[in-house]
Amino acid sequence: MQDDLVLRVIGKILIPYILLFAVYVQFHGDFGPGGGFQAGVIFATGIVFYALIFGLQQARAVISDGFVEAMLAAGVLLYAGIGVAGLLLGGNYLDYFVLSSDPIHGQHRGIFWVELGVAITVCGVMIKIFYMFASHGDGGEHRQ
Amino acid sequence: MSISAHLPVLQVVLPLISAPLAVLLRHGGFAAAIVTTGAWAAFAAAIGLWLQVAESGTLSYHIGNWAPPWGIEYRVDRLTSFVLLLVSGTAAIVLPWSRASIEREIPQELHYLYYAMFGLCLAGLLGITITGDAFNIFVFLEISSLATYVLIAMGRDRRALTAAYRYLIMGSIGATFIVIGIGFLYLMTGTLNLADMAVRLREVENTRPVLVALAFLTVGISLKLALFPLHQWLPNAYTYAPSAVTAFLAATATKVSVYVLIRFYYSIFGESLVFEQLPLPQIMLVLSLLAMFIASFIAIFQDNLKLLFAYSSIGQIGYITLGLSFGSVTGLTGSIVHLLNHGIAKAAIFLLIGGLVLGLTRPGTTPVVPGFDRLAGLSKKMPLTCIGIVIAGLSLIGVPGTAGFISKWYLILAALEQGQFWLVGAIVLSSLLAVAYVWRFVEVAYFSPPPASSTDIKEAPFSLLAPAWLLVIATLWFGLDTSFSIGAASDAARQLLKTGS
Amino acid sequence: MTHFTYMATVFLMVAGLYIVIARGNLIKKLIGLSILQSSVFLLYVAPGKLLGGTAPILSPEFSLYSNPLPHVLILTAIVVGVATLALGLAITVRIREAYGTIEEDEIVALDQDDFHDRPENQS
């Protein structure tokens, strides 16, 4: 689809806004529909859109396979890490009350980082699934 | 922060963290080291929890420091710590064993993913056991199930893929039924915390939604535990999965589902509803007898050694649910102790069969199918492996001196207590069927002449034999010294029957 | 039509189960599974909306709030459903590579043939 002028132009205009919208949805999960999972999916959609218009190789150059797998694992580790941070600071696992001097702010912080971990993992998963299914036509070197 | 106060959560978190670390490290060797460390740490935590529960009674841990019933609670009582020991112990033994085995069975570049999935599966199974929140059971159940589907699909044979697909469909239907049951319970009681639910359920016990919830939960959990008519996924899944995966699953996946069933029946619904007002004991009795006889009978005619022992597993699960159907302390003790005894015996058998397959496979080729034509005269070339399979097989039959005898003894005692003498005959008769299929292996391995082309077969390497023989010796140990297994099981049974209504 | 959502739930549940059992195409089975799981989402969320209840944001003018907990539970269940679907599709792709077909009866037939010529198949 690289030769289609309309798609290329619209893509270049819209994709940054899609990514920005994903970041907006991520941070406004407490006040409206949103949160980590939704934000991760919207961000991945932006990347998929880019891959569809400009080609899979281009998308791989921007976000490589290794980076995507690292994102997958890093998000889970971030979530588990917040839990361990709660343990180290004297509370129970995933205790947000101890994460800051004021328990309410502790809740804010805990939810913020945990949702970020969820968003990173979900984004990684969606992009990985897309890469896997999209590259299946050529040679099928990806087995898993 | 003292570690012993946080053991309940570390039990799940340590294997759970080892999985993404394995993905990040990418290299097979490092991934193996991290996940094995996680499994051993989980085993140490399980031992720690066992000692704590023995000393101070039921433990309760509040995740996020939210008091139950608003927050998720991890609750460890006698039965919980018993099952935790079984699951983490099996993982601690199978993981070092699997290093040599998956060299042949899984392509090198996927090794780190195998370990990551194993870590996730272990964390999921431990989580199901330890949690005290109904929806949390569902979440951990799905974590462990999805990891299991991936592990099974890693088998070399293409039938591993169809086996994984069928298990995915049936397992997801089972999990969906479980969540429907939990949904009805939530609608009727307004809480998800198991202990709180048990209290609130007393008022609404005989309403239709609660009975529907019981029905959906029973069917969903029975799908996961491969109770007789719902067992279709098990034979192929155990046969075509990689050997280490089969050994781990045979000892843990169905046993944890039995734990969930026992927890729902005794601690939440209460024996008066389940066993006295509803015909559940009779239904379970019929299905258990069908499982014991039909599955053992089918096992006799199988040609593939792994398929034979997979059908044998379905029969043995019948014994476990038979013990449940009595509703008495003796019956429940027999069920719980058979969780341990069968788990150890089957894990030993599948580990030894894995070693057997490796010994039969010429280096550089795909692992062979352990069909009976290849096993002729194997006892001369692989003596330790064969005698190990025979001893574990004796435990499946229930020969005195092996662990299997202890569980069948308690089942027979429970039947005698209730005056059901014909049931004693049924248990003995089905054990004779087990004799038939173990004898098939003995006859082929010991009394058939080896084929001419078998000159280059050697015994399996020590790293493969040692963990498997550890389990074989455990089978003999628990058959002779039952203080741990029966002590734990009867304490757990008494605690469950006391706290239920 | 007071119990409309419950009737829809039951219809979806049974339709999903029927598709899983009655259709032989592997992808259609996965679609049936997804429909079954959607019925569960409806089962949880619909009773959460209390008659006369407002959105669960604390405010002095309102005293009756709808229950936000089922929504949280269903978010988790939706993610689980998506993961199951993705895994099922990935396994289907590999089955297609290995067998050349995604119809269950053809796969069973191919496995039967495998069974009959197994000694030749082994290296």
Which chain C residue is nearest to residue B365, measuring alpha carbons? Answer: C123
Separation in Å, CA of B167 to nearest CA in chain C: 10
Contacts of C36 in chain B (CB under 8 A): 173, 176
**Chosen domain end from B277, B297, B312:** B277
Give yes or no: residues B348 and B213 share one domain: no
What are B308's two structure tokens? 């034979």
Whether residues C36 and B139 touch (CB distance < 8 A) is answered with no
Rounded average pLDDT over C51-57: 82
Evaluate if residue C121 carries a pLDDT over 60. Answer: no
CA distances, C96 to each of B89, C24, C106 (Å): 38, 14, 11
% of chain B with per-residue pLDDT over 70: 98
CB atoms within 10 A of CB C8: 15
Rounded average pLDDT over A56-85: 92
Contacts of C44 in chain B (CB under 8 A): 183, 186
pLDDT class of B499 with cuts at 50, 70, 90: low
Q: What pLDDT does residue B29 have?
A: 85
Give yes or no: residues B238 and B303 share one domain: no
pLDDT in tens, B65-107: 888 888 899 999 999 999 999 999 999 999 999 888 888 888 8
Separation in Å, CA of C90 to nearest CA in chain B: 10
Rounded to whole angstroms, the Cα distance separating B301 from B21 reads: 45
Whether residues B21 and A86 touch (CB distance < 8 A) is answered with no
DSSP three-state, residue B167: helix
Which chain A residue is nearest to residue B109, measuring alpha carbons? Answer: A143
Whether residues B135 and C80 touch (CB distance < 8 A) is answered with no
User: Closest partner residue to A88 among B1, B19, B107, by Cβ?
Assistant: B1
Q: What pLDDT does residue A137 have?
A: 63
Rounded to whole angstroms, the Cα distance separating B269 from B412 reads: 26
Phi, psi of C103 (to 5 degrees): -95, 130
Give yes or no: residues B191 and B251 share one domain: yes
Give yes or no: residues B334 and B448 share one domain: yes
CATH for the C4-121 domain, from 3.40.1160.10, 3.40.50.300, 3.30.70.20, 1.10.287.3510? 1.10.287.3510
| Residues B99 and B32: beta-carbon distance below 8 Å | yes
Which chain C residue is nearest to residue B171, measuring alpha carbons? Answer: C84
Phi, psi of B264 (to 5 degrees): -65, -40
Give yes or no: residues B196 and B243 share one domain: yes
Q: What pLDDT does residue B172 have?
A: 96
Tell me the residue length of chain B. Answer: 501
Give yes or no: residues B373 and B414 share one domain: yes
pLDDT class of A33 with cuts at 50, 70, 90: confident
CA distances, B495 to each of A143, B73, B218, C39 (Å): 49, 19, 22, 38
Give me the interface pTM, i.e. the ipTM. Answer: 0.92
DSSP three-state, residue C25: strand
Which chain B residue is nearest to residue A72, measuring alpha carbons? Answer: B20
Separation in Å, CA of A56 to nearest CA in chain B: 23
Rounded average pLDDT over B417-422: 88
Q: What pLDDT does residue C118 have?
A: 54
Q: Which one, of B179, B167, B91, lies nearest residue B134 by Cα?
A: B179
Mutate to test the interface with B, among C5, C50, C75, C87 (most CBs of B within 10 A): C87
Q: What is the pTM assigned to this prediction? A: 0.93
Evaluate if residue B341 carries a pLDDT over 50. Answer: yes
Evaluate if residue B313 carries a pLDDT over 50. Answer: yes
Evaluate if residue C26 carries a pLDDT over 90. Answer: yes
Separation in Å, CA of C74 to nearest CA in chain A: 13
Evaluate if residue C119 carries a pLDDT over 70. Answer: no
Rounded average pLDDT over B397-420: 90
Whether residues A136 and C94 touch (CB distance < 8 A) is answered with no
- The residue range of the domain holding B284 is 279-501
Whether residues A140 and C90 touch (CB distance < 8 A) is answered with no
DSSP three-state, residue B112: helix
Which chain A residue is nearest to residue B114, measuring alpha carbons? Answer: A144
pLDDT in tens, B237-293: 999 999 999 999 999 999 999 999 999 998 888 888 888 888 888 999 999 999 999
| Residues C25 and C104: beta-carbon distance below 8 Å | yes
User: Closest partner residue to A140 among C75, C86, C97, by Cβ?
Assistant: C97
Phi, psi of B353 (to 5 degrees): -65, -35
| Residues B497 and B77: beta-carbon distance below 8 Å | no
Neighbouring residues of A53: CB distance < 8 A, sequence distance ≥ 6: A1, A2, A4, A7, A8, A11
Q: What pLDDT does residue A76 have?
A: 94
> DSSP H helical segments within B366-482, as ranges?
378-381, 383-397, 403-417, 421-447, 462-480
Which chain A residue is nearest to residue C85, measuring alpha carbons? Answer: A129
**Chosen domain end from B224, B245, B277:** B277
Phi, psi of B76 (to 5 degrees): -115, 115
Chains that touch A (3 or more CB pairs under 8 A): B, C
CA distances, C87 to each of A58, B91, B150, C92 (Å): 26, 24, 8, 9
Phi, psi of B497 (to 5 degrees): -75, -20
* A→C interface, C-beta within 8 Å: 37, 125, 129, 132-133, 136, 140, 143-144
Domain count, chain B: 2
Longest Cα pair distance anywhere in chain C, in angstroms? Answer: 79
Domain residues of chain C, as ranges?
4-121
User: Pairing between strand B73-76 and B59-62?
Assistant: antiparallel
Evaluate if residue B330 carries a pLDDT over 50. Answer: yes
For residue B315, give the DSSP letter. Answer: H
Rounded to whole angstroms, the Cα distance separating B338 from B92 reads: 20
Whether residues C75 and A37 touch (CB distance < 8 A) is answered with yes
Separation in Å, CA of B262 to nearest CA in chain C: 24
Contacts of C75 in chain A (CB under 8 A): 37
User: Closest partner residue to A37 among C79, C90, C94, by Cβ?
Assistant: C79
> Cα angle at C6 between C4 and C9, to 5 degrees?
110
Q: What pLDDT does residue A140 have?
A: 41
Contacts of A144 in chain C (CB under 8 A): 90
Q: What pLDDT does residue B271 have?
A: 81
What are B82's two structure tokens? 């018993």
Phi, psi of B257 (to 5 degrees): -65, -40
Rounded to whole angstroms, the Cα distance separating C86 from C109 reads: 26
**Chosen domain end from B253, B277, B301:** B277
Which chain A residue is nearest to residue B25, measuring alpha carbons? Answer: A70
What are B49's two structure tokens? 């929890």
| Residues B456 and B39: beta-carbon distance below 8 Å | no
Whether residues B63 and A77 touch (CB distance < 8 A) is answered with no
Interface check C94 vs B, CB under 8 A: yes
For residue B450, give the DSSP letter. Answer: P
What are A138's two structure tokens? 């050529």
Q: What pLDDT does residue A143 have?
A: 37
DSSP three-state, residue A141: coil
pLDDT class of C115 with cuts at 50, 70, 90: low
Instruction: Count residue pairs from A and B with Cβ separation < 8 A.
Output: 56
Minimum mean pLDDT range among B47-56, B277-286, B302-311, B448-457: B448-457
Separation in Å, CA of B137 to nearest CA in chain A: 18
Rounded to whole angstroms, the Cα distance separating C120 from C99 reads: 18
